[in-house]
Chains A and B, each alone.
Chain A
Amino acid sequence: MVRPPQGGAARLPLVLDRSLRKAYGRGREARTFPWRKGGPVHQRRHFLPLTVGVFTLLIAVTVGIIRAPIASVADAKTPIKIGVLAPLTGPLAALARDIVDGARLYVDEVKGEMAGRKVELTVEDYEFKTAVALTKTKKLVERDRVHVVVGVILSAAAIAMKDYLHAQQVPFIVSGAAVAEPLMMEKPSPYVFRTTFAASQVPTPLAKFTYDKLKARTATVIAGDTVGTIELVMGFARAFEEAGGKVVQEIYTPIGTTDFGPFIGRLRRDVDVVAVLVPGADGIRFINQYEEFGLKGKIQVVDTAPGITDISLLPSSGPAALGMYASQPYVYTIDNPQNRKFVQAFHTKYGRDPGGPAEATYVALAAIHQALTATGGNIEDKAKFLEALRHMDLEAPRGHIRFDKYQNVITDVIITRIDKVGDQIVPVVVETIPGVEQFLGITPEEYLKRPRLVALKGTFGK
């Protein structure tokens, strides 16, 4: 029930006073609360305007919040606003920096203008927490009135944001999170796109490669205990068993694990390969401790997606990661003209090489640009803008890309090995599998009849 504000204003002092009296006792009442009977008169007068003022403010804020989602119809002169959401503090800070830098590089390259309109980036840090991600998304949409949201690495956050942004009708281009079915396949939203990859997409070719080329027959999977990373190793495990191998052990480590000793101690020493997805700072600690326990070089490690082997982490995980294989849609050592240009521009601006999230976010902005050009810069006409975005057709640094019917990118998958070239530690391209899509060559209906990736957790090694 909503009480009329006037009534509330009149009641407030009483309520306040009663609770304060409870806390301080009767004895000091006369001295502490002069606006009660017997207190100086001028004090009492001051109190009512204050309460009314507070209530007016409250009402103003409430009205503002209710009004906010109603999209404003802007003319062509107002800037295009793009919200960039990245976990700039926390275990994935290095990847997050790539997201922001990739977006900024693209805006710089087009000199801050797309289809005749200025482009503004608003960067928000979600601290690798789902709840914060949702709060910051609401802030981006309701206060900053962004037209598009890009970024996000944490899969749980992406799923939560999907429902909100769908309801708000704000396009959302994921350039990080890998979760497969809940984000892009089940109840697909026309507002959600993805330029990176699904958990089914990237580990599958690696599993075949591990079985065929590395001749591995038994595997242990190790993943950070969160939905995106679990799905990625499950994608590997499913494809590895389909190829003929056997997954004999699953180990999950809580995000933020510092001491991997207990987990490495449990690891079966008789397996041929360890498939991991331990992201960010956890990954650096894992691979260093894996080496400390003398397992490096004894059991081959493969990275089911760029976790430990991402270029932004190699400065820290470097020597320990030597010899690992990894699969990903993009790596900065791809040899083609667009990529050479991209890597050079990135290197000049930031003094380091771009990782996967940098390219994926750069591509997301390029896709927005392409759709804006096609619609004459009219991002306010959402139906037309989404239609144009769906038809993305880009020569990205990684090669030619487009979206499938479910708006997930169809991309080449590249398998790399971490090698020492000269005195530098570099991911060397070993194999390229062209045009991989998230349903792995079967129809979406058939694919969705199979168990969900996340539901496979705990079914191996029994």
Chain B
Amino acid sequence: MAFWIVQSLNGISFGMLLFLLAAGLSLVFGLMRIVNLTHGSFYLLGAYIGLTVIERTGSFLVAMVVAPLCVTLLALLIHRFLLRRFHHMELAQVLLTFGLLFIFADLTLWKWGGSSYVLPKPAFLATSLTIGSIVFPAYRLFVIATGVVIALLLWLVLERTTLGSMVRAGVDDEEMVRGLGINTPRLFTAVFALGAFLAALSGVIGGPFVGAYPGADFEVLLLALVVVIVGGLGSIRGAFVGSLVVGLIDTFGRALVPELAMFTIFAPMAIILALRPRGLFGRI
């Protein structure tokens, strides 16, 4: 019994991390119709900047704020000066973000070197909770809590505010939204920045157990793409459910049949693509 409870919590905490990663990617795709491959770089930059901030200030919470803000600023610049020039040229935009992914990979290698880092956990979360025979790291519960809070906030913003309704309308029909007099380029910039913020935040939060190392950007991007495909593009609910599905399947797959580690991630993706090509909650 303890095995199933611990592994379920493992799966949920991994899933929440995936959600933070995939939510931004899904929104950006839904609204702007581009697969933002630089998303992986935003994760890695968030983790590295978070590491530097923790080393300087000694505070994990400061890193959780500062690193995502730095990356958001970078994303704003990228969108304003690079991506906007290629408005509605989807292929060119994807190639551009792909190029940026490589450029940032080399820049981070240059700045932080080839070593792997594990971000230090905040002291108050460096313990584990014991309930009966179940021992579970406090930090993972913190990851679950953060994921749920962010999901709720995103849901509130998207479903209950004017900005949210503009984004939802934009996902359904961008031309019509523009016709109504809404400044869609500005909307695009805001969503792009939000996506970068979430990716960098997942970099800091994932840092203590995933770590920051060269190549993490590509690995994380792959996972996020799987989640987005399973959950469906452009939908926060899809990203949330997709993350949980992938997180749980991956965790139980590794625990029960470790030889099939890669298979357990990609098999559900293939099955869902075959049965529901739009993903579980896809809008487009």
Contact = CB atoms under 8 A, between A and B. Distances in A.
A295 B128 CA distance: 10
B7 A265 contact: yes
A93 B113 contact: yes
A459 to B, nearest CB: 16
A96 interface: yes
A281 B254 contact: no
Given A88-B114, A293-B128, A259 B213 contact: no
A88 to B, nearest CB: 5
Nearest to A252: B258
A269 to B, nearest CB: 9
Contacts of B137: 289, 292-293
Nearest to A280: B116
A256 interface: yes
Contacts of B109: 89
A259 B258 contact: no
Contact of B14 (A89, A259, A294): A259
Given A262-B254, A265-B6, A89 B214 contact: yes
Contacts of A258: 209-211
A26 interface: no
Given A263-B254, A265-B3, A294-B130, A316 B117 contact: yes
B258 A90 contact: no
Contacts of B14: 259, 261
A93 B10 contact: no
Interface in A250-267: 251-254, 256, 258-259, 261-263, 265-266
Contacts of B209: 258-259, 285, 288-289
B210 A294 contact: no
Contact-residue size bin, chain B (C-beta under 8 Å from the other chain): 20 to 34
A263 B214 contact: no
Interface string A86-100: 001111011011000
A253 B210 CA distance: 15
A237 interface: no
Interface in A57-113: 88-91, 93-94, 96-97
Contacts of B10: 259, 261-262, 265
Interface string B1-38: 00100110010011000000000000000000000000
A280 B14 CA distance: 22
Contact of B252 (A90, A94, A262, A293): A262
Contact of A253 (B6, B128, B258): B258
Interface string A266-295: 100000000000001100110011001111
B258 A91 contact: no
Given A89-B109, A258-B209, A263 B258 contact: yes
B57 interface: no
Nearest to A294: B135
Contacts of A96: 114
B225 interface: no
A97 B116 CA distance: 12
Contact of B128 (A265, A281, A292): A292
Given A90-B215, A258-B210, A261-B10, A284 B128 contact: no
B243 interface: no
Contacts of A253: 258
Interface in B205-226: 208-211, 213-215, 219
A292 B213 contact: no
A352 B210 CA distance: 26
A294 B128 contact: yes
A130 to B, nearest CB: 16
- Of listed B14, B116, B130, residue having the most chain A CB within 10 A: B116
Contacts of B13: 261
Nearest to A295: B135
Contacts of A316: 116-118
A254 B116 contact: no
A288 B251 contact: no
A93 B116 contact: yes
A316 B137 CA distance: 19
A293 B114 contact: no
A223 B139 CA distance: 25
Contact of B261 (A254, A261, A289, A292): A254
Interface in B168-212: 208-211
A266 B252 CA distance: 10
Contacts of A293: 6, 128, 135-137
Contacts of A280: 116
Contacts of B135: 293-295
A288 B137 CA distance: 11
A316 B116 CA distance: 9
A90 B114 contact: yes
Nearest to A87: B114
Contacts of A289: 137, 209
B162 interface: no
Interface in B112-165: 113-118, 128, 130, 135-137, 139-140
Contacts of B73: none
B89 interface: no
Nearest to B259: A252
B255 interface: yes
Contacts of A125: 114
A253 B3 CA distance: 18
A125 to B, nearest CB: 8
29 contacts: A89-B109, A89-B214, A89-B215, A90-B213, A91-B116, A125-B114, A256-B219, A259-B210, A259-B254, A261-B13, A261-B14, A262-B7, A262-B251, A262-B255, A265-B3, A265-B7, A265-B10, A266-B255, A281-B118, A281-B211, A281-B213, A284-B118, A288-B208, A288-B209, A292-B128, A293-B6, A293-B136, A293-B137, A294-B128
Given A88-B114, A262-B252, A285-B211, 12 more contacts: A89-B214, A90-B114, A91-B116, A93-B115, A93-B214, A94-B115, A94-B116, A265-B3, A265-B255, A281-B115, A281-B211, A316-B117
Top 3 nearest A-B pairs (CB, nearest first) are A281-B116, A292-B137, A294-B135
